């Protein structure tokens, strides 16, 4: 299991293809915060997002912030459960060229094929570790769709964001799939002992 540092947004696909399920990754550069209502607006209501998502790293978040003047400052920024938003994986890759999705808890198997097809990676963050995550957000540079607060589109500049684990890589491998398969096999054995 290798260790990598990747800067987003990426322009070279090799940056994504080198990552393998189980690898450790630290992210630099810019990341985009997004959540349920943001993606419902883009895909179900057909509203074009006012930020460029090409090569982007998306974070499943609804940050706690405070407004100082006309800027938002982080209070506590953490990550939410990804599985609720899995159906947006295909269009995020196909229509917008998103390359990384980061959240907690993983994606079910239906994400594996779109991620392989569009060269995307699912990054697992440690859910609940928001105090640490907040220290890695250098600045909230842009906020769009403020009326969806806190489920707006957020642009964060980050430093040493992580550690993240590659949960699903762009080659069809998913740690979540493997863990579930092993656990179901184990359950049969445990049931026999009850």
Partner 1 sequence: MSTVAVDLQQAVEDAAAHLYVWALKDIPQDLRDALAAAKDRETSVPGKRVLETIVKNVEVADSNSNLVCQDTGIAVYTCRVGEDFPLHPARIYAALKAGTERATLEHPLRSNAVHTLTRENTGPNTGYRLPIVHWEFIPEWDGLDVKCVPKGSGSENMSFLKMCVPADGVSGIKKFVLESIVESGGKPCPPGIVGVGIGGSADYAMYLAKEAIARPIGTRNADPHVAKLEEELYGLLNETGIGPMGLGGDVTVLNCHIEHADTHMTLNPVAVNYQCWAARRASAHIAVDGSVDFDREA
Output the smallest distance, CB 97 to partner 1, in A.
27
- Could you say whether residue 19 binds partner 1 (CB under 8 A)? no
Q: At 47, is the secondary structure helix, strand, or coil? A: coil
Separation in Å, CA 128 to CA 7, 20, 63, 125? 24, 24, 12, 9
- The DSSP H or E segment spanning 73 is strand 71-76
Output the smallest distance, CB 43 to partner 1, in A.
18
Subset of residues 72 to 131 that bind partner 1, contact rule: CB under 8 A:
75-81, 83, 104-106, 124, 126-131
- Could you say whether residue 183 binds partner 1 (CB under 8 A)? yes
In this chain, which of 2, 17, 94, 132 binds partner 1, going by CB under 8 A? 132
- Could you say whether residue 192 binds partner 1 (CB under 8 A)? no
- Could you say whether residue 24 binds partner 1 (CB under 8 A)? yes
Nearer to partner 1, 16 or 124 (CB): 124
- Could you say whether residue 17 binds partner 1 (CB under 8 A)? no
What one-character-per-residue DSSP string does 93-158 give?
A: HHHH---EEEEBS---GGGHHHHHHHT-EEEEP-TT-HHHHHHTEEEEEEEE-GGGTTSSEEEEEE
């Amino acid at each position: 299991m290798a260790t990598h540092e990747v800067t987003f947004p990426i322009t070279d696909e090799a940056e994504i293809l080198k990552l393998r399920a189980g690898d450790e990754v630290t992210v630099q550069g810019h990341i985009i915060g997004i959540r349920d209502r943001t993606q419902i607006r883009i895909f179900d209501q057909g509203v074009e997002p006012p930020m460029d998502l090409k090569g982007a790293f998306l974070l499943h978040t609804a940050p706690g912030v405070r407004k100082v003047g006309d800027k938002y400052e982080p209070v506590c920024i953490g990550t939410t459960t990804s599985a609720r938003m899995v159906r947006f994986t295909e269009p995020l890759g196909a229509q917008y060229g998103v390359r990384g999705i980061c959240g907690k808890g993983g994606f079910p198997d239906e994400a594996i094929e779109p991620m392989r097809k569009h060269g995307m990676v699912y990054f697992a963050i440690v859910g609940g570790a928001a105090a640490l995550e907040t220290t890695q957000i250098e600045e909230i540079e842009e906020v769009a769709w403020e009326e969806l607060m806190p489920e707006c589109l957020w642009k964060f500049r980050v430093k040493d964001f992580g550690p993240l684990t590659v949960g699903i890589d762009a080659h069809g491998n998913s740690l979540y799939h493997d863990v579930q398969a092993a656990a179901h096999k184990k359950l049969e054995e445990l049931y026999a002992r009850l």
